[in-house]
Amino acid sequence: MKPRVAVIGAGWAGLSAAIELVGQADISVFEAGREPGGRARRVDTTSRFLDNGQHILVGAYHQTLAMMRKVGADPETLFERVPMQWQQPFGMRMWCPPLPAPLHLMAGLVTARGIGWRDKYSLGRALTRLRLAGWRLDEDVSVAAWLAREGQSDTLCRLFWHPLVLSALNTPVAEASMQILANVLRDTLGSPLRSDSDLLLPRSDLSELFPLPANDWLGEQGVRLVYGQRVERLQREGDGWRVAGEYFDAVVVAVAPYHVEGLLDDERLLSVIKAFDYCPIYTVYLQFPVPVNLPGPMCGLDDGADWLFDRDCLTGETGMVAAVLSAPSEETVADRDALLKRIVAAVSRVDPTLVEPERSRIIAEKRATFAARVGLARPDTRFGLHSLYLAGDWVASDYPATLEGAVRSGITAATALLQDFTQNHNDDE
């Protein structure tokens, strides 16, 4: 007998859970929005589709890439794969050649420009100490505290560590968990596979990477997809749950943590979620009347704290660039006109031949990710609620809020659900 399963939320976690359950459950996916993808999808503006952020994947995202392939989305055509590189036109510039790991990183560090030999040695020493410790800290501390302990210079912090932390964790350096950052470094720069550190830059919009192919594939497998219907409340009924007036044997809750409060009244779970804080991501789109001459498909703005993406190079949108600001302070983004002028000036510094953009658009995800702080308690997939499973990039794992974390959580939730259902069914017999 197959269980009836409701998946609440059609983001990357919910879609992954549904895909993993296909053939082993009778699945219904409920999504409040009219399109899949959650916080990593395209946005329909008046003139075109724009992504609600620029997501960078890396070669180490094995589960995400496998899930894409399963639904017919080919990573080899959907991504521009480039060796690990760090391009700041007015800062640090590093390119890791296609050598076996860790020689690629050593070569990249030795030939890096924009930092001196003392900083190169200091950076290499810090990474080596982490590797020798198995990428584990005796006690988690903030990244800022760890950098001070490792003697990283102000220049290294400004040009390398701060941009890296904001890009990977979307959390200010003074608050960010060094252990979570070490986990990311372990699977990328510290991986024995050089390709795990490759950057995967999307050649299409975010929805075409995975959400739309996953939606089509699930429909072909007979999965019921219900869009534009918000599930207001989950009600316990016997051994299962009542969702939108229907009974289900099990539920996968794959919504953002701040939406859980409306679904459940479990005080223990809600107390964990209320401890979460969130950080924004702002994306500034600029449409220039002529192609933009950038040093690569992705480069740092000014000192590299913000990143610029050449949409012409990646997606064929001539003259379109996107600037991404990770976890900016409220003061930085409070004045939209001033923000826009700052970004235009920074892009023009990279390409002095540019004229004023024809159009611009600022897309703000004010609660884009949870703040990956030291000591943050994140709930497990099984949280003690019978036949209910949590999925999302915020559920307990080694990773910060990433697409890989979301996909892994969906797979974990589906696996746990099937294990429990099989065990309970066998016990009943």
Tens digit of each residue's pLDDT (9 = 90 or more) over 269-298: 999 999 999 999 999 999 999 999 999 999
Closest CA to 373 of 90, 145, 198, 32: 145
* Mean per-residue pLDDT of the chain: 94
Tokens of 46: 């008046």
Whole-structure pTM over 0.85, yes or no? Answer: yes
Give the CATH number of domain 4-40+205-276+378-428: 3.50.50.60
- CATH 3.90.660.10, the chain: domain bounds: 278-370
Give the SS3 label for residue 45: coil
Assign a CATH topology to domain 84-197: protoporphyrinogen ix oxidase, domain 3 (1.10.3110)
**Is the per-residue pLDDT at 74 higher than 60?**
yes
- CATH 3.50.50.60, the chain: domain bounds: 4-40+205-276+378-428
Q: How many C-beta atoms lie closer than 10 Å to residue 86's C-beta? A: 23
> Confidence band (pLDDT; 50, 70, 90) for 349?
very high
User: What pLDDT does residue 51 have?
Assistant: 85
Closest CA to 321 of 330, 329, 312: 312
224, 28 contact by CB (below 8 A): yes
CATH 3.90.660.10 fits 278-370, yes or no: yes
Instruction: Give start and end residues of each alpha helix (H) in 196-263.
Output: 206-209, 211-220, 257-263
The more confident residue out of 50 and 139 is 139
Q: What is the average per-residue pLDDT within 179-187?
A: 97
Q: How far are the Cα atoms of 36, 222, 231, 364, 377 from residue 228, in angstroms, in the given order?
A: 10, 19, 10, 22, 32
Q: What is the average per-residue pLDDT within 59-75?
A: 98
Q: What is the average per-residue pLDDT within 58-76?
A: 97
| Torsion (CA) 369, 397, 410, 325 in degrees, nearest 10 | 20
Closest CA to 27 of 260, 239, 217: 217
**Is the per-residue pLDDT at 429 higher than 80?**
no
User: What pLDDT does residue 344 have?
Assistant: 93
User: What pLDDT does residue 53 have?
Assistant: 78
Q: What is the average per-residue pLDDT within 387-391?
A: 98
Q: How far are the Cα atoms of 24, 163, 333, 378, 403 from residue 195, in angstroms, in the given order?
A: 34, 22, 36, 30, 18
User: What pLDDT does residue 305 have?
Assistant: 59
Give the least confident one: 180-194, 267-281, 304-318. 304-318
**Is the per-residue pLDDT at 4 higher than 90?**
yes
Strand partners, 250: 5
Phi and psi torsions of 133, nearest 5°: -85, 10
40, 403 contact by CB (below 8 A): yes
Percent of the residues in the chain that have a pLDDT greater than 90, as a whole number = 89
